[in-house]
Amino acid sequence: MNKLDFYSVTIELLVGFFSLLLVTNILGKPQISQLTPFHFISALVLGELLGNAVYDKEISIKYVVYAIALWGSLLFLVELLTQKVKRTRNFFQGSPSVLIRRGQIDYQELKKNRMDLNELLSLMRQKDVFSLREVEYAVLELNGSLSILKKSNYDFISRQDLQLPEKPVYLPGALIMDGEIIQDNLDNFGLPVTWLAEQLRTKGYKDAQDILYAEWQQNKDLLIIPYEQN
């Protein structure tokens, strides 16, 4: 690379940097703090436009500015449109999905959002919720995060506030997911398959294949969520 090439790349990077900075400031900070799939793809496209322009010698600096300005203008128009016309918001941004409603998993919403139970449980744990029995509502937000409204019995009140002695804490575990028995978890808890089968029969279920999710925690009843719920 000769001096002219270094000079050209430097100028294009500087112009591209300040152009992207200008576009970001115009679009506003929610681009970062509320990163939706649409915003994420837009950021990738802007970066790709700049990268191709910088390393393609046949593209001059004016095309770099034009590409960024045009794409930024389109993003700005979409943001303006979604602010002014409410009916366009679902099309461009999507809408939140209620994955758990009144303590019951909405399996259709899970499938609609291309999620499985492992992903749902992982998002719950990130919110310091380790059991489905604690959740009244769970909403999948536009940026992919999970908002949780706990049942009233699980509202946070510390035992220290009530001057109560400490109690041991037990980690819950899934025994059935998507109609399949999780043998590893049964072994970890020291529970035989015959015990699980008896529990299901006691609660009126013939087979594990009828169960969407079953969770066990020491000193608590077996939590069972069937596929078909009233």
> What's 143's domain CATH number?
3.30.240.20
Do residue 14 and residue 75 come from a single domain? yes
In tens, the pLDDT along 97-144 reads: 899 998 899 989 888 888 889 999 999 999 989 999 999 999 998 777
User: Which residues pair with residue 191 across a beta bridge?
Assistant: none
Round to whole Å and give the CA distance between 36 and 155.
30
The dihedral of CA 188, 189, 192, 195: what is its sign? Answer: negative
Q: Does 167 fall in a domain?
A: no
Q: What is the pLDDT, as a whole number, of residue 138?
A: 92
Q: What is the pLDDT, as a whole number, of residue 162?
A: 72
- Cβ burial of 71 (10 Å; 0-12, 13-18, 19+) is middle
Q: How are beta strands 173-177 and 135-140 bridged, if at all? A: unpaired
Q: Does 165 fall in a domain?
A: no
Q: Does 108 fall in a domain?
A: yes
- Cβ burial of 64 (10 Å; 0-12, 13-18, 19+) is buried
Do residue 74 and residue 22 come from a single domain? yes
Do residue 60 and residue 129 come from a single domain? no
The two most distant CA atoms of the chain are separated, in Å, by 81
In tens, the pLDDT along 154-174 reads: 877 666 767 778 777 788 999
Q: How many domains are there within the chain?
A: 3
Q: Does 141 fall in a domain?
A: yes
Q: What is the pLDDT, as a whole number, of residue 152?
A: 77
Q: Report the phi/psi class of residue 72: left, alpha or beta, with left for phi > 0 and alpha for psi in -120 to 50.
A: alpha
Q: Does 102 fall in a domain?
A: yes
Do residue 119 and residue 81 come from a single domain? no
Q: Which structural domain, as residue segments, surrounds residue 105?
A: 97-154
Q: Does 161 fall in a domain?
A: no
Last residue of a domain, one of 41, 62, 91: 91
Q: What is the pLDDT, as a whole number, of residue 30?
A: 47
Q: Which residues of the chain have pLDDT under 50?
A: 1, 4, 29-33, 230
Crossing angle of helices 37-55 and 3-27, in 10° steps, is 160
Q: What is the pLDDT, as a whole number, of residue 84?
A: 76
Residues 101 and 137 sit within 8 Å (Cβ to Cβ): yes
Q: What is the pLDDT, as a whole number, of residue 222?
A: 93
Q: Does 105 fall in a domain?
A: yes
Q: Does 101 fall in a domain?
A: yes
Do residue 66 and residue 128 come from a single domain? no
Round to whole Å and give the CA distance between 15 and 123.
40
Do residue 12 and residue 84 come from a single domain? yes
Q: What is the pLDDT, as a whole number, of residue 77?
A: 80
Q: What is the pLDDT, as a whole number, of residue 32?
A: 46
Name the DSSP letter for residue 178.
T
Do residue 77 and residue 103 come from a single domain? no
Q: Please name the residue that has the structure tokens 């993003």.
A: 75
